[in-house]
């Protein structure tokens, strides 16, 4: 019997067009603390890391003692934006078509994301995605990407080996995590980081549209 393919997705910037929401929440968090907010490109560059790591990267040396408070402030700001109806975390085109096709092809699916479990649950419930995924790995219970633990736990829960698994994401952290875990790594061409950055991080291939879902089942694996 052929091995069952295992496809693990990042969330922000891969399944959902949500980077603009994260940038706005980060800006409000820093401003409310009386700090100079990071630039939009700087915030976009750390999306994919766990929240403490992301905020740590964005802080100046003299501000590092405030990191834990900013993490909590960001969570509050994000929740307030959601309650105010300011969240516009839309799915990218053809996501459900892709997920349906992968399940029909016999794949097992999961998510490995730097989001909190609360944030991921909101996305899954809002867009009716929960039924697709057999494992949900978040930054709440795993080391931040690019550490491979998140992906390793996902494979363990789905009963998949690294050679049966592909990680798909929009950031170099996703690609580096996949390479560290020994899986195939596919980047999305609509990434804010730019396709070249994903290739430089070690992506084996790029996905141009979720209509091209068959790429995710290819067994070709570059060096």
Catalytic member of 10, 73, 170, 174:
10
Tell me, yes or no, if 10 is annotated catalytic. Answer: yes
* Spatial distance between the Cα atoms of 198 and 153, rounded to a whole number of angstroms: 23
Catalytic member of 12, 73, 170, 174:
12
Tell me, yes or no, if 12 is annotated catalytic. Answer: yes
- Provide CB contacts within 8 A for 175, sequence distance 6+: 146, 167, 169, 185, 187, 198, 201, 202, 203
Starting from the edge strand earliest in sequence, which strands make up the sheet with 6-9, in order? 135-137, 108-112, 6-9, 165-169, 184-188, 205-207
Handedness of CA 111, 142, 158, 223 (dihedral sign): positive
Rounded to 5°, the CA angle 136-137-141 comes to 130
**170, containing H or E segment:** none
Give the chain's count of helices (H) and strands (E). Answer: 9, 8
* Residues marked as catalytic: 10, 12
């Amino acid at each position: 019997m052929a091995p069952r393919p295992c496809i693990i997705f990042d969330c922000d910037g891969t399944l959902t067009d949500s980077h603009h929401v994260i940038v706005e929440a980060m800006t409000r968090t820093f401003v409310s603390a009386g700090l100079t907010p990071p630039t939009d490109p700087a915030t976009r560059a750390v999306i994919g890391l766990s929240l403490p790591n992301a905020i740590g990267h964005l802080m100046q040396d003299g501000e590092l003692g405030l990191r834990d408070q900013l993490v909590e402030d960001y969570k509050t700001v994000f929740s307030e934006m959601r309650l105010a109806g300011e969240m516009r975390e839309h799915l990218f085109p053809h996501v459900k078509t892709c997920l349906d096709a992968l399940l029909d092809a016999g794949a097992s699916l999961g998510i490995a994301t730097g989001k909190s479990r609360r944030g991921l649950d909101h996305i899954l419930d809002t867009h009716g995605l929960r039924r697709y995924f057999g494992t949900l790995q978040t930054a709440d219970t795993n080391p931040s990407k690019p550490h491979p633990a998140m992906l390793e736990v996902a494979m363990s829960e789905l009963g998949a080996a690294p050679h049966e698994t592909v990680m798909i994401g929009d950031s170099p952290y996703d690609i580096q995590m996949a390479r560290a875990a020994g899986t195939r790594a596919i980047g999305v061409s609509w990434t804010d980081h730019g396709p070249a950055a994903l290739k430089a991080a070690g992506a084996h291939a790029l996905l141009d549209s979720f209509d091209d879902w068959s790429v995710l089942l290819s067994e070709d694996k570059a060096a």
